[in-house]
Homo-oligomer: A and B are copies of this chain.
Amino acid sequence: MNLHRTPIPVNEAVEKIMEHSRTGETEYIGINEADGRVIAEDLVATHPIPPFHKSPYDGFALRSKDTTHLSKDNPGRFVVTETVGAGSRASGFMKEGETVRIMTGAEIPPGADCVAMFEICQTEEKGDQSWMTLKRPMDPNQNIILQGSETTINEKLVSKGSRVNPGVKALLATFGYAKVKVYKKPVVGVFATGTELLEVEEELIPGKIRNSNAYMIVSQIERAGAEARYLGKLVDNLPTCFQAVASAIQDVDFLITTGGVSVGDFDLMPEIYEKLGAEVLFNKVAMRPGSVTTAASVQGKLLFGLSGNPSACYVGFELFTFPILQRHLGRTHPYHRTVQATLGRDFKKANPFTRFVRGFIEYEEGKVVVYPAGLDKSAVVSSLAYTDALIMLPGGTRGFKQGDRVEAVLLEDLKGGQKL
């Protein structure tokens, strides 16, 4: 078993992983299940918008040529032939001297080419008949939203690879996409390793701690839009462990193990990789935390060996697993969006390695400011609760000062971005 580890730069590690990426399969789902999913075909207009000439106001539809001569001193009087509400249609073709009472959103009656708003019209009624008086001329197409003026048929409105948000949902409904073609959610299996781990419902006993990484990773997987499958705890026994991993690979698209990637005696993962015939892409990254992160490829599937340390595990997932899941999901920008930001407070400790410090974003006078989320001791779990960004601090011999320009990786942003 070769325990030698040569650290590679973060960028290179991400590239090695993304070389194994592919876009996943697609499926049709009902529109009501589409929120947050990624569309797998362009959303195109199946009809023009509006689908007919329509009225933007409540008013009276007219032929503009009947109004050219009108003025205060020379008002025109029109016979109101009918009333048309949204969803209804006029019964006939408009003739000279006629008008149709029309409601917002209703189709302009054939023959009419303008709408006079209620506010500028006088009306009178006698028995069953009513008349409208207008004292000004109207232009052709005045107060008419022309068919196709907002969207023409076959226009591409949203590109495949986009996430369904309320606006996209409205478009899907408008254009009759009762079934939506989306990318299938990749299935990500999660094993926890470590005999010290208790499940959440177990009483704490001396020497042991509760398994928090598996719950956290499941949340991260779901936040990334994928489907998580917690497969339980691997025991520290090579044959059993190997069997569990080998079998799990058949059922999932990606496999994550947390813990068991350090150099201690009880870490079986390197041996399991070897026994599986896995191609190890890297087993150490020049970064903190998460330096002992492993990625390996077996049978066309990727295995991620994330650290057992909660923040290293968290960071390892967001940097290495997240983008390949997004690519699988067909996202056009599979990486987390990164922004330039101002460091909100001093971060004095220097470190020779690139660091990804847990932080949160504030906006101050139009600027993006990022604050470290509490102490960054590698084992401190509580700061992750306040984390919505990772502050990337390049390695070097000095610390960082409040006001320094840094890069921040946005973890809750839905838009996606370019490679680091």
Which residues in A have some Cβ–Cβ distance to B below 8 Å? Answer: 31-32, 35, 43, 47, 49-52, 56, 58, 83, 85-89, 103-107, 118, 145, 150-151, 157-158, 162, 164-178, 194-197, 200-204, 206-220, 222-223, 236, 262-266, 308, 310, 314, 337, 339-342, 360, 363, 365-368, 377-388, 405, 412-415
Asked if A194 meets B415 with Cβ closer than 8 Å, knowing A172-B215, A173-B200, A265-B103, the reply is no
CB distance from A289 to the nearest CB of B (A): 12
A221 and chain B: residue at smallest CB distance: B166
| Interface contact B212-A170, CB-CB below 8 Å | yes
A88 and B217 CA atoms in complex are apart in Å by 25
- Other than the given A87-B197, A89-B206, 15 more pairs (CB < 8 A) read A31-B215, A49-B380, A49-B381, A85-B196, A150-B379, A162-B385, A165-B385, A167-B381, A169-B215, A169-B216, A170-B219, A174-B210, A340-B366, A366-B405, A368-B368
- Contact among B166, B217, B265, B308 with A220 in the assembled complex (CB-CB below 8 Å): B166
A380 and B150 CA atoms in complex are apart in Å by 6
| Interface contact A31-B200, CB-CB below 8 Å | yes
Pull 22 A–B residue pairs with CB atoms less than 8 Å apart, ordered by A: A32-B215, A35-B222, A85-B196, A89-B206, A104-B308, A106-B207, A107-B207, A150-B381, A165-B385, A167-B314, A167-B383, A170-B215, A170-B381, A171-B381, A171-B382, A173-B200, A173-B211, A173-B215, A173-B216, A174-B210, A176-B202, A366-B368
A383 and B166 CA atoms in complex are apart in Å by 11
| Interface contact A87-B207, CB-CB below 8 Å | yes
A263 and B165 CA atoms in complex are apart in Å by 31
